[in-house]
Structure 1
């Protein structure tokens, strides 16, 4: 049973079906934030940042605590602890609920199952329709603010991607006339989306309306020429030619979707960096080279300095600029274990589950192996698989094929822990409408391969380190032992990774004086 509704007006319904009062707008927003990240710890600073942005009121932390307390009481009073539960954990908050109890998570799980069905079009289409039926209107209804606007836009992109895939499947199964109203409506909303227009063209042709199908193509062609100065993709041109020939095969099968992209959302969960505002500003902005192509952004620094976490935070900040997807590729260039990122609240590193690998099962990207450094070809194929594109067997120039498939897609690709220049070069000249972000310990290895904007990371200042510890442990605990905090910062060398590890030790032992922690750290390092 769905208890939490996010794909429409935000609601929580008790197991008996009665709606639970979630309070005023900002409190409802906090509930929505926790529900979107259900079963994951969300730190207070993240909630503050999402709810108020860069200029929160001084009372923001107290207000968050108050909202959480009221929400916890409302949930417990509604279900006696049998439904969703709001808990305090590791200094943050987590909304615990069965995945299927939240419509957004059920939608995503069902869409993933449909995409895993591979060539079983009937099963995949049925699952996609089931997922789409979860929607009850615009997502996050009744929730104001920048976070809600950004998240709502991303969720609507997920809905569009699933709906287009569903239409493609239904057309392959012989649908046509019965879909026209829905296809026309979607084309009116997204007149520049070639996948949408191709489905409309196929549906019109199936219904014996070949002239209208060709007119839909011509309308698209004029719009793209007037607004972007480009022609329709080769697949769209080929579909038009097939319709003009009155190809009988098109009456029994829908358009080819060999290179029709899906919309990947691979970024690890967002975290809030501390003290890296200047570096984030350096990554911002529209940066292009002399030839008009985007400049590759590079984050350079020693181990544990926070390259990955900074990259992830910036990628989340700008994800709305790249509606065709965000792809995260962990290249394991340093051949080390999981890295902790920068000064982030919560002391946890981003999880890395994405990277080039062996051929994907059922066409889906799978986690990488660390036995060898992935080649440039591995990277390209992983990026294409993430978009639902498979290089055809026997393709003599996969790089050219890949660049053609990526052309004009607004995709953000993060190449984390680069192992070799080849891994970047294969993507360096495309996609022209997207962006590349690289993290590496040595930017020197990239010299001469193209226009770069390099941001160097070094150790935190003492003030930044103090802010980081306060974000994890709380300001009271840090302010109570200033000498011990200074000692811990010195022992950690102001390294974000070391500071995060030290803070984690203190966080799980709230009774432990920081002076004792500093003494233990000094003893382990041999410092008197």
Structure 2
């Protein structure tokens, strides 16, 4: 089997082990772009943008075709079967190769198996280690440019997320002594990452190195104060307090970070033990968004200097905020064994189901099986703190209209809890940044390649390939937004004899009819063209043109 290395110096080897010359720097970059999305079409425009930036030369398309031709010649050696080929697909190019040949995709599949919970804990750790062993060095070695830099950073965050998760599981299995050297090395590379430092503190204390564990905390606290002006997170402070209280007693560190935390409500005379809610809706179709998913993974794994973890997915209607949130929530659900809570705040229609923070907090308490105190007693927030203390929870707040509804909850987010919100506009949420760890993921339209993949997934590749020009027009009219593309594709799916050309004509008429409606009245029409504000002048110019024949 051929071999493509992306997680280290870029290279391609045949099944016989022979290295293939991929050409000069830009040509190698084209190969890397295709390999990262192996077996999926990458649009010509994207390859040009990624290679030359926002102002490519006039000859860029011809030069790109030349690069592709040379890559084909290098991969398809005469006299031997081609193990990897570059084919023309959907107006772009696709690197067709066995999935197991590409180390990046093999790494991700192995991690998915480790997270799925198949087998026992040690088997899961073994899979994590197997996945991490696939990495050779910094990814995309020898590939330069903005695209390579961005992808390289995202891949490094992805690896850190996996490594931290592996360390946490190994600490639960008592592997603190074997991890010490590796944890020290990771802490040197990520000195402000509190999860990494907590794991190091735990391993040091369990190994009888209490002074070093306290020293690691002191160094972290000093760096955070000097660089960010904040204190360590509450969970880190509690670990420090536990180490101080444990003194030098043997085995005292066995209940520290890395072990499942007891539920605070288990104390005698307290409320009953909370139930474990699993409220996530069924995941919907998600195409693309690999970078956004990696950002969400990296935010949680690399969270540092934070007493909580709050993430907000921002974007216009129909862009796929909810689909991304639910998909990611299902993906990381095993990391939140104490429950996943989903709340639809109905911000789009002004519903008042959660008109104040207390109502939202009461809903979460009910989800956890904790009785809420009577209204007006004044201890609702305290009851919430007790219910979530020591628990690893994921709370998804969908369609947040303004920060007022969720402000009370966001201010009370405890260590171990991650809040993921979706919102059309986050201007009102930004005032929370001064006191909370709020990070934003901004969704934009799908690329042409991703939009084509979405349509092909619903309509079938044969129908999409048969009418490529009509497909391109559908994508344009839908503004590359997932909701509009899905609705149009399902409309066409129910009418298999309808030509996509005829469908585009209907869409164009609908778009013209809805074009001048006031903002906010277009959501009922999935066919209205959605364009960014900068295209208004072009829009007006287009209206003055006679219709195409």
Asked if 1:174 corresponds to 2:159, the answer is: no
Q: Residues 397 and 420 of structure 2 are in contact (CA less than 8 Å); yes or no, is this contact kept in structure 1?
A: no
Matched residue of 2:62: which SS?
helix
Normalising by structure 1, report the TM-score: 0.60
Residue 496, structure 1, aligned to residue 479, structure 2: yes
Q: In 1, are the aligned partners of 2:171 and 2:258 still within 8 Å (CA)?
A: no
| Residue aligning to 1:163 | 163
Aligned partners of 1:75 and 1:141: how far apart in 2?
20
Q: How does 1:340-489 map to 2 (within 5 A)?
A: 352=323, 354-355=325-326, 362=334, 394=370, 418=399, 421=401, 425-426=405-406, 438-439=423-424
Report the CA distance shift for 1:448/1:131 in structure 2 as closer, same or farther (over 3 A): closer
* Aligned counterparts of 1:268 and 1:161: Cα–Cα separation in 2: 22
CA distance in 2, matches of 1:97, 1:354: 31
> For 2:176 and 2:240, how far apart are their aligned partners in 1?
17
Corresponding residue of 1:108? 108
CA distance in 2: counterparts of 1:92 and 1:368, whole angstroms: 41
Q: Equivalent of 1:255, from 254, 257, 263? A: 257
Rate the CA distance shift 1:15–1:2 in 2: closer, same or farther, 3 A: closer
Equivalent-residue separation in structure 2 for 1:268 and 1:55 (angstroms): 31
Shift in Å, 1:235: 1.5
Encode CA deviations 1:449-506: one digit per residue, 9 max, x unaligned.
8879xxxxxxxxxxxxxxx9xxxxxxxxxxxxxxxx9xx99x99966379989x99xx
Once the two structures are TM-superposed, the CA of residue 521 in structure 1 deviates from its matched residue by 3.0
Q: Give the TM-score taking structure 2 as reference length.
A: 0.58
CA apart distance, 1:145: 0.5
| Distance in 2 of aligned mates of 1:326 and 1:75 | 46
Equivalent-residue separation in structure 2 for 1:426 and 1:371 (angstroms): 12
The alignment status of 1:138 with 2:118, answered yes or no, reads no
Aligned to 1:41: 41
Q: Equivalents in 1 of 2:198, 2:420: separation in Å?
A: 27
SS in 1 for 2:94: strand
- Decide which moves more: 16-25 or 492-501: 492-501
Structure 1 counterpart of 2:505: 521
Is 1:118–1:362's contact at 8 Å kept on the other side of the alignment? Answer: no
Residues 227, 93 of structure 1: CA spacing in aligned structure 2 closer, same or farther, 3 A cutoff? same
1:150 Cα deviation from its structure 2 partner: 1.0
When residues 199 and 23 of structure 1 are mapped into structure 2, their CA distance, relative to the original with a 3 A threshold, is same
Aligned residues: 404
- Residue 230 to residue 68, structure 1, CA distance change in 2 (3 Å): same
Corresponding residue number in structure 2 for 1:29: 29
Aligned counterparts of 1:520 and 1:236: Cα–Cα separation in 2? 57
Alpha-carbon distance between aligned partners in 2 of 1:350 and 1:169, rounded to the nearest angstrom = 31
How far is the alpha carbon of 1:368 from its aligned partner?
12
Flag the 1:427–1:66 CA change in 2: closer, same or farther, 3 A.
Answer: farther
How far apart in 1 are the matches of 2:143 and 2:260? 39
Kept in 2, the 8 Å contact 1:172–1:253? The answer is: no
Map 1:33-432 to 2 at 5 A.
33-77=33-77, 80-117=80-117, 120-244=120-244, 245-246=246-247, 248=250, 250-252=252-254, 255-256=257-258, 352=323, 354-355=325-326, 362=334, 394=370, 418=399, 421=401, 425-426=405-406
List runs of 5+ in structure 1 lacking aligned partners. Answer: 260-265, 271-311, 342-348, 385-390, 406-412, 453-467, 469-484, 505-513
1:432-464 Cα distance to aligned partner (Å, 9 max, x none): 9x997734xxx8xx9988879xxxxxxxxxxxx
Q: Which moved more, 1:65-74 or 1:150-159?
A: 65-74
Counterpart Cα distance in 2 of 1:367 and 1:94: 38
Contact 2:183/2:196, CA 8 A, preserved across alignment: yes
**Residues in 1 aligned to 2:476 and 2:152: alpha-carbon distance in whole angstroms:** 41
Verify the 8 A CA contact 1:197 1:216 in the aligned structure 2.
yes
Query: Once the 2 structures are TM-superposed, how far is the Cα of residue 78 of structure 1 from its aligned partner?
Result: 7.7
- Contact kept? 1:205, 1:213, Cα under 8 Å: yes
CA contact (8 A) 2:10 2:141 kept: yes
Q: 2 CA distance for matches of 1:447 and 1:12?
A: 47
